[in-house]
Amino acid sequence: MYENLFTILPDESTVETILRLFGIETMSHGEMFHKELINEDTLLQEFVKLKFLLSTKYRPYKLKQMYTSLTLSKCITILKHFLGAVGFYLQSAEGTYLLVDIHKVKKKREVIVTFD
């Protein structure tokens, strides 16, 4: 799926750069941010500064699509795309976003069945 979005899959340092714009310092399971606490103007300015870095990863059509009329929602979508490429996703509820490590969730769901 992510091959459709990226020419080169992003590395964790690129994702952490994006996360810092949302106030998250480390990419770890359980980190969260609140949409209402984000200064939208500042965030949009920072995303404009990141455009070159993102252009090295995103496919050109996707970059153009995301940066045409850049909004807070599109910034969150960009974050979701990049997180997904490194095994994380954002779980959201009422303006609160929780960082979830897919590998930890899958590990919790493993069941061992034994027969006597």
pLDDT in tens, 55-110: 999 999 999 999 999 999 999 999 999 999 999 999 999 989 999 998 776 655 55
- Single pTM value for the model: 0.86
For 62-84, the DSSP string reads HHHHHHTT--HHHHHHHHHHHHH
Domain coverage including residue 61: 2-109
Is residue 69, in this structure, part of any structural domain at all? yes
Structural domain tally of the chain?
1
Residue 64 resides in a domain: yes
In a domain, 58, yes or no: yes
pLDDT at 104: 73
Q: In Å, how far from its chain's centre is CA 88?
A: 7
Distance CA 26, CA 19 (A): 8
